[in-house]
Chains A and B, each alone.
Chain A
Amino acid sequence: MSGDDDRSDAAERAGDAGDPTPDGGSTHPAESPLAERARPADADAPTTGLSGPRPEERPHPTGRRDEHGVRKEPDQGPEPARRATVSALVEDEPGVLARAAGLFRRRQFNIESLTVGPTTVEGHSRITLVVEETEAGIDQAKKQLAKLTPVIAVGELSGDAVAAELVLLKVRGQEPDKVHAITSMYDGQTLDAGPRTITVQITGDENQIDDAIDAFDQFGIIEMARTGQTALERGDSPTTPGEEPGHSAADTDDDEFTNYDD
């Protein structure tokens, strides 16, 4: 079957505008498709694959991008990771913590700790996350978190934010005086003391907690529970953008609060 006289009714009915491009860019010939395509085997068009300059015959720019799609000189090394503390104000609804945690797992963000607790506003909670990521990773983590429907606002805490963590340590009780001395040194509290074990509570920033754990190690730490970091911005700076300190049900005195809405 062949021939230009072979124009189908269907093609006629379609009333094609024909080839609008002078260079054969259209795949919509005015002829019936068969008439258009049926050519002797020595025609230009190949019967397997397509024609055109081979990859090595084409011009190629020398520019490159890094793994984040940033254009750069090829000799630049990979971007270093840094730690960031991210605070998210969220609607206090069932599953919100699972959504945040699931997001970080799914997108493989490297998460050091995650804490959650109520705020002064009825129905709002604060999630505090510590992530260790490249600049682009931190940026993406914040944006993806902000995209979750129950998330009200997301902010990254500055370097001088106040941060604290709590650890409970259960140590062997053979040397109560020494344990007590170290507890005092770290401004801790003794929560439980018995003939065989002593349990203390230490709060502080991450480094203080790490130091305290090292110090108690000499007695033999039997069990440990650590909360992970929670944090707030210093002074008048809101912890998450646009955050207005609100009122818990018990608060009635407006003057205690600064309104950050500028």
Chain B
Amino acid sequence: MSEPATPGKASADADDEATDADATGRTDTEDETAERRREAATRAPGTGAGAVVAALEAAGVETAFGVQGGAIMPVYDALSASTVDHVTMAHEQGAVHAADAYGIVRGDPGVCLATSGPGATNLVTGIADASMDSDAMLALTGQVPSDMVGSDAFQETDTVGVTAPITKHNFFASDSDDVGRTVGEAFALAGTGRPGPTLVDLPKDVSFGQTDRPVGEPTPPKRSVPTPAADEEQVEAAADAIQRAERPLCLFGGGVIKGDATEEARAFAREFGIPVVTTMPGIGSFPEDDDLCLSWAGMHGTGYANMAITHTDCLIAVGTRFDDRLTGGVDTFAPEAEVVHVDIDPAEISKNVHADYPVIGDAATVIDQLDAAIGYGDAPDPEAWREQCAEWREEYPMDYAIDTDEPVRPEFVVEAFDAATDDDAYVTTGVGQHQMWAAQYWTFREPRTFVSSHGLGTMGYGLPAAIGARIAADDDRQVVSFEGDGSFLMTIQELSVAVREHLDITVVVLNNEYIGMVRQWQDAFFEGNHMASDYDWMPEFDTLAEAFGAKGFRIDDYDDVEDAVEAALAYDGPSVVDAHVDPEANVYPMVASGAANGLFALSEDQL
């Protein structure tokens, strides 16, 4: 890449033409973009590798993340002459998480590349992560030449076999003439219906092979395209149940965001005055500063959200898979509720929690159908229930007092950054206590602004995700990454990429010198035996950041917070704030594994 600016961005002095609706900073008009895609779909690609790249261009891919290597070299060679920007990452795990986050922010599949063998196996964690969170992503992996497959050749791994359980589908390319279409199909499939990661394994001879067959438009397999609208009978039955309810509750999951249904979901809840809780992946589907919103439920969700789930008589669940972190013990989950379950994937219906009223379809379409089926004035206004929820909000506040002589509270650092950033800033996280504090104490208002690893719980996700989010986002949107000391150290090498690309991101390490979530559990359930969780061997992250060429800041006590927040956000480039927080701080509320949501503990003695 020749320009030092953010990849995929035009330089600032470019012409101000009418731009794409997604306002990505590119200066092509929609017509130019469509024309470029048409050209890529119809040209003679020359080689298999050329076809792979043509397929990416025909799909409208602007950015790909990856690491070079022997078996993928022909594809990289073809990529060098492509309109697709390539961001070289320090490690394939960085590439896959960056692609994942890029896809989350953009709403289109992110793309990552790796070579065969160790390159491909380094993607596995990130592919599994995308699979658990239903993130649309395309992974392209090099493979040894076809005639060597199965011979345990150098850098050979059965990538299709290894990734079969963690992909929506994967493909082994066997023919230079077909490989472009296969890549297009894999890309389209990733974003169709319930999103998920797909992978195409590219043997080197297939990439090198000659082909003049145009790749065509990316098309998913016909069978994989679900019908958006739900069955009218299902809709009517669900609408009746909602109208009968005295204590209805909306539960908005990640599917509301993936299905671009936030507008419909918000309008629905507001029209009928139904309180809203979200899941963790559903954070941002409903503004958390709205009176109707009870924030998110589950293991570390708010007390009031868990009370509402415990006492609702009609749970309107949209785009959620009832993960165990949300439900606690299934036997005590929403014990009074008839469950309306809206999902695009029929296999999610009654998988974990029985759906009394399954409604299978696209979230936005189905919510509109439900809205029409209920009709104006037909649903009683659940005013008393709303008041009850408001009472719970007062009874179980997410509230704490600070003593300025004590070590800094991590929640306070989160709130300080929230106060100093725009309402539409992106937040990425690693996994652990810091992730929970970020989710609890940052007020999210918009979909796709909370970029985190939910289902798999991948430590190390935050920094590469911040890189992907930064490159995907508009220039005027801020990106803050909350990290734990343990999480940050797992993918810290990607800081070199942020420096090289001059990415304006702010990394906030809530450094308690523990893998704190493990330490919290050890204190609660293992008699405080801190086996392998004491991280007093951490490097000085602010100094280390400077060694990478980033800007380092340090917080030791409350007096440091304001200046560090301001300076780190103001710095135009990657900055790292090493915030030394209270090592004893724990995450509450907490529902013990398998316990009832309504029995959430507010302190350790209640566990």
Contact = CB atoms under 8 A, between A and B. Distances in A.
A202 to B, nearest CB: 36
Contacts of B164: 95, 98-99, 102
Contact of B419 (A10, A41, A49, A55): A10
B437 to A, nearest CB: 11
B19 interface: no
B3 interface: no
B401 A46 contact: yes
B499 interface: no
Nearest to A24: B397
A32 B602 contact: no
A13 B569 CA distance: 12
B225 to A, nearest CB: 12
B393 A23 contact: yes
B606 A55 contact: yes
A77 interface: no
Interface residues of B, number: 84
Interface string A1-41: 11000001111011011001101111111001110011111
B227 interface: no
Contacts of B589: 50
Nearest to B311: A61
Size class of the A contact interface (CB-based, 8 Å): 35 or more
A196 interface: no
Contacts of A140: 347, 350-351
Contacts of B322: 69
B393 A67 contact: no
Contacts of B602: 49-52, 54
Given A37-B412, A52-B395, A94 B562 contact: no
B601 A34 contact: no
A48 B415 contact: no
B528 interface: no
Interface stretch (B65-73, B76-84, B255-263, B327-335): B327-335
A216 B398 CA distance: 73
A71 B397 contact: no
A50 B395 CA distance: 10
Contact of B354 (A16, A38, A40, A65): A65
A50 B606 contact: no
B229 interface: no
A149 interface: yes
A50 B399 contact: yes
B521 to A, nearest CB: 16
Given A47-B400, A49-B603, A52-B602, A34 B558 contact: yes
A61 B303 CA distance: 16
A178 B419 CA distance: 91
A151 to B, nearest CB: 8
B416 A34 contact: yes
A44 to B, nearest CB: 7
Contacts of A150: 169
B219 interface: no
B291 interface: yes
A61 B335 CA distance: 7
Nearest to B563: A8
A20 B165 contact: no
A53 interface: yes
Nearest to B287: A20
A252 B569 CA distance: 73
B227 to A, nearest CB: 14
B307 A58 contact: yes
Interface in B348-405: 349-354, 390, 393-404
B350 A14 contact: no
A50 B336 contact: no
Contact of A71 (B303, B335, B412): B335
Contacts of A1: 404, 558-559
Interface string A74-101: 0000000000000000000011001100
A26 B295 CA distance: 10
A201 B559 CA distance: 86
Interface string B553-568: 0000011011001100
B310 interface: yes
A95 B160 contact: yes
Given A10-B566, A32-B419, A71-B354, A41 B335 contact: no
Contacts of A47: 400-403, 406
A43 interface: yes
Contacts of A95: 160-161, 164, 172
B537 to A, nearest CB: 26
Nearest to A21: B291
Contacts of A37: 400-402, 412, 415
Interface string A179-214: 000000000000000000000000000000000000
A58 to B, nearest CB: 6
A61 B401 contact: no
Contacts of B350: 68-69, 136, 139-140
A16 B419 contact: yes
A58 B419 contact: no
A117 interface: no
B175 interface: no
Interface string B399-434: 111111010000010011011111000000000000
Nearest to A42: B401
A50 B301 CA distance: 13
Contacts of A235: none
A61 to B, nearest CB: 5
A50 B331 contact: no
A25 B339 CA distance: 27
A130 interface: no
A106 to B, nearest CB: 5
17 contacts: A20-B291, A21-B289, A27-B443, A28-B419, A34-B561, A38-B404, A40-B401, A44-B401, A45-B397, A51-B602, A63-B335, A66-B331, A69-B352, A69-B353, A71-B335, A99-B164, A106-B165
Given A14-B421, A23-B394, 11 more contacts: A21-B289, A23-B390, A27-B440, A28-B418, A34-B562, A43-B401, A45-B399, A51-B399, A69-B330, A149-B169, A149-B223
What 7 pairs between A and B have smallest CB-CB spacing?
A: A49-B603, A63-B335, A10-B420, A69-B353, A143-B347, A149-B169, A52-B396
Interface of B: 160-161, 164-165, 168-169, 172, 189, 221, 223-224, 288-291, 303-304, 307, 310-311, 322, 327, 330-333, 335-336, 339, 345-347, 349-354, 390, 393-404, 406, 412, 415-416, 418-422, 440-443, 558-559, 561-562, 565-566, 569, 584, 586, 588-589, 596, 598-604, 606
